[in-house]
Amino acid sequence: MRRAVSLLAAASAAAMLLPSAAGAVTVGAPLNLAANAGVNCQTFVIFGVAPGCTLFGSEAGGAWTSQTPPGSWTITRARVRTGLNVGPMVFTVMRAFRSQAGSPPAGIICCTAPSESPVFTPAPNTVNELAVNLPAVNTVENIDGEPVEVVDYLGVSMLDLNSSLPVHVATSAADPAVNASFSYFIPPVRVGQQAIQAGGRFESAVLVNGEYQPAPATTPVPETVAPVTPPLVTPLPAPFRLLPGLRLLPGGTRARLGVDAPGPGLLRAFAPALGQARAGQAPTAAASVRRKKGKRRKPRLLIPAKRRVKSAGKAYITVKLTKLGKRRLRKRGKLRLPLSVVFKPDGGSATRRNRNLTFRR
């Protein structure tokens, strides 16, 4: 693994430390939010089936972060707020590296899992706390004469698809999670393994935190070695963000929605055909066989749309109903469709956002 990737934003050291008992600090998200995501690790996969996933996150405004404070620590208690469904999971310490040599310093190399908790299955819809003994650091090490930043993050790994994600998705502009984001890895990263970040999500908080106790000093820290300042991690550039609201155009059979794109690329919007899974899920083997035999494709209620985005900023795309969709709208007076919006930046990987779209007669 010799590739630099961007991780989530970390706030100032003062912002990310929450006082706790006996000199400890609490690191991670507040757990008074509901785990309302209602999806499992499969939501990150366009094709195939996810065996699970690993998540960790931060809040861009500095309210909290899963990044270890400067120094050496031991995580003694870890907590997760679960959703409706639960399955086996572990708390995972994720580690990133960056060389301080050169100007500017080299990019981040991510990630390895130096330690993890025992496997446990939590109770649903509540805060679950587990006693752990997980070393965690945020320091600079001299490796073969080269100063290298070593920074750990506290995350959680779902080990199958039984668990709904312990994630709170912002529901309004005033929601505490509106500035939160997280990184995800597929498959889950187990202790001793290394992986490259698969992607990130915004306006969502991973509901995990931990109790950090200062680790006993073992060797003196050289005067030339200092904790990471400023924080190691810079914000993950948004793959793209859906703008709030949408506009039904005259006639009621067309809708216009907007995105905030990070740069030039291809923007697409579509809904699944009738009788198929939501757009983005892998087709079944039976469906593939039917297509190979030349049978008719399933009818659609929405005409797929696409447009090229020439620069970063706001961009808009218009979708319209098919003839079948128009007939159903006339008959029912209201038509609600699941919509997938996909943005593929030039030279990058596609990212999908889902929302519901309602047409009214």
CATH number of residue 300's parent domain: 2.60.40
pLDDT at 14 over 80: no
Q: How many residues does the chain have?
A: 361
Spatial contact of 81 and 161, defined as CB atoms under 8 Å apart: no
**More confident of the two residues 287 and 148:** 148
Mean pLDDT of 273-298: 54
Higher pLDDT, 294 or 52: 52
Dist. CA 61–CA 202, nearest whole Å = 13
The residue ranking higher by pLDDT, 219 or 90, is 90
Confidence of residue 276 (pLDDT cuts 50, 70, 90): low
Total domains in the chain come to 2
Instruction: Kindly state whether residues 72 and 199 are assigned to the same domain.
Output: yes
> Do residues 293 and 147 share a domain?
no
Is residue 233 one of the residues assigned to a domain?
no
> What range defines the domain where residue 306 resides?
241-360
- Look up residue 110 and give its amino acid: C
273 and 170 in a single domain? The answer is no
Q: Is there a domain that residue 5 lies in? A: no
- For 55, counting Cβ atoms within 10 Å of its Cβ (0-12 exposed, 13-18 middle, 19+ buried), the class is buried
Q: In this predicted structure, what is the pLDDT of residue 3?
A: 33
- What average pLDDT is seen over the chain? 82
Quick one: 87 and 203 in the same domain?
yes
Mean pLDDT, residues 261-276 taken together: 84
Dihedrals phi, psi of 288, to nearest 5 degrees: -65, -40
Q: What is the pLDDT of residue 10?
A: 36
Looking at the chain, the whole-number percentage of residues with pLDDT higher than 70 is 79
pLDDT (mean) for 247-272: 87
- When mean pLDDT is compared over 210-214, 274-278, 297-301, the highest value belongs to 210-214
**Dist CA 331 CA 69 (whole Å):** 60
pLDDT of res. 142 = 86
Which residue would you say has higher pLDDT here, 72 or 4? 72
Q: Which pLDDT value is given to residue 132?
A: 96
